[in-house]
Amino acid sequence: MGYFFDITDNKFLGIIILCILVGVTGWAMGAIIERVSRKIKNKAEKSLVSLQKDMIRTRNEALKKIEIVENTIKKTGPYHRDSGHYNNEIRYVHDQVNNIRYYSGNARSVEEAAFLYGEIINYLDGIMVKIDPYSASTSWTLEEKKYEKPYWGNYKRKKEKEVEETDKKEEIPKEFVLIKPADSYVTSLRPPVEKSVNPRISGALPNYSIKKQINSNEFADIFSGDSDDGLNVVIKVPRIEKGKSRNVGVMAEFISGVDQWDRLKDDNIVKIYGRDVRPAFHIVMERMNGGDLKVLMENHELTLEEAVHIMLQVLQGVCSAHEKGIFHGNLKPSNILFQNDGELKISDWGWEEFQNTVNPGRFISEKCKFGYCSPEHLEPKEFGKVDEATDQFHLGILFYEMLTGVNPFDDEEKEKVAENIIEKELDPPSFLNLAVPDELDELILKALEKKKEARWKSTKLMYDELNRLVVS
């Protein structure tokens, strides 16, 4: 007669092992639960002991005060010396104290008993200032309006009031305090990482010597170098298809854009030293040794005060350009540059219009992947053309990211970023950073309105509003 199970059967062994594991796991979980329960019980018992000690201490204090009152009654007697009438005040106090002592002894909880003994203390503290057995008059003048008599139901009232206040509690708005801008981020600034270049291109441009490569992407190469008169500069060389590099219209667009940039003489805008289309398209500008905002945010979490300090400078530069009828259209962290001492300047003015000429569609598509785009970039027919209000939208993105550490439109699926820019309803920055006051929430969300008409009427008004919120 065979066995129901063959012990050599792998399935049978698996069932046995599974049963053992389940048993061990159950035992372990039971032990853990018992241990946690024991800790909770011990903690509760300690709390109860502490409360009992407080109650006993309060009761003893109350009994001492009661003893003083009773001794005073014995000394002064039950009659009023002047009128000969029974001293009703003394009887009243005696009755009140006995009443509260009864309910204290029959309290339903230690907490209630402690509260009731406290009622006795408060009551007697109020009237004992009137007790003076050595005065000419021994009558006690009880001021009921001043000293509330003890009542056993006060504990219930107290609990009901606490519940009522909790239910009716409204959200208290954050009290706004003027912001004091801070430049403490300066210690976190890092110079751009430079790479060596092929010696053959060192003298490729007349009047300049190329030394190192700072950056390179599909739209431009950026180098550091020196002018013939010893000035340390940055040279930006746009990447242009050979056929377009000889196009007169492309040349004119490039020269026009750089010349507009050169007109912007402001402390918060990068200076232009030169530009040409021969032997290659290039822009020569001042050297900024402190890196850019993108790198700063990657290495340092900006505080509210630091973000405001940076945004004030950015707004000053943008307002200066808008007053001259020039807008940027491509504001993003990598275009906000610093000197080592924290001085801030905006770069790449006119760059977007030029790139739209040489790389139509591709430039907008690429920058929108990273959330630095506006509804009018994506749907000009619905939202209008790019202009000064577009810069406000980009400023809102910058400020939001500085305060929260995230781009409000970014998405793991880059294809959804453009959709977010057009459709996403944003949470205020304070949802991610509680330090952000309501006033800054409103300022930023107004700049990030989908319709240009709903944004700030001018960037100067946006700057004035931010400046109003800071300590001068």
In the chain the domains, ranked by start, together with CATH numbers, are 45-168 (no CATH), 185-468 (1.10.510.10)
pLDDT tops 50 at residue 31: yes
Distance CA 58, CA 54 (A): 6
Could you tell me what percent of the chain has a pLDDT over 70? 65
pTM to 2 decimal places: 0.63
CB-based contact 185:342 (threshold 8 Å): yes
DSSP classification of residue 341: T
Which H or E run includes 344? strand 344-346
Best CA proximity match to 274, nearest among 236, 307, 309: 236
The first and second tokens of residue 25, run together, are: 């796991």
Could you tell me what percent of the chain has a pLDDT over 90? 39
For the segment 392-431, what is each residue's pLDDT rounded down to a tens digit?
Answer: 999 999 999 999 999 999 888 878 898 999 999 999 999 9
Which whole number is the average pLDDT over 207-215? 90
Which whole number is the average pLDDT over 22-30? 73
The first and second tokens of residue 44, run together, are: 């509760």
Distance CA 307, CA 405 (A): 11
pLDDT band for position 217 (50/70/90)? Answer: confident
pLDDT band for position 358 (50/70/90)? Answer: confident
For the segment 137-161, what is each residue's pLDDT rounded down to a tens digit?
Answer: 434 443 433 334 444 455 556 666 6
CB-based contact 171:438 (threshold 8 Å): no
Which whole number is the average pLDDT over 151-177? 56
Picking from 24-33, 50-59, 75-84, 228-237, which range would have the lowest pLDDT averaged per residue?
A: 75-84
Range list of β-strands (E), 191-306: 195-196, 208-216, 220-227, 232-238, 272-276, 282-286
Distance CA 174, CA 144 (A): 40
State the burial class of residue 266 (Cβ atoms within 10 Å of its Cβ: 0-12, 13-18, 19+).
middle
pLDDT tops 50 at residue 434: yes
pLDDT band for position 278 (50/70/90)? Answer: confident
Which whole number is the average pLDDT over 82-108? 56
Distance CA 103, CA 108 (A): 9
For the segment 315-351, what is each residue's pLDDT rounded down to a tens digit?
Answer: 999 999 999 999 998 899 999 999 999 999 999 998 8
Write down the mean pLDDT value for the chain.
78
- Select the more confidently predicted residue: 385 or 67: 385
Picking from 295-309, 369-383, 440-454, which range would have the lowest pLDDT averaged per residue?
A: 369-383
**CA pseudo-torsion sign 303, 304, 308, 314:** positive
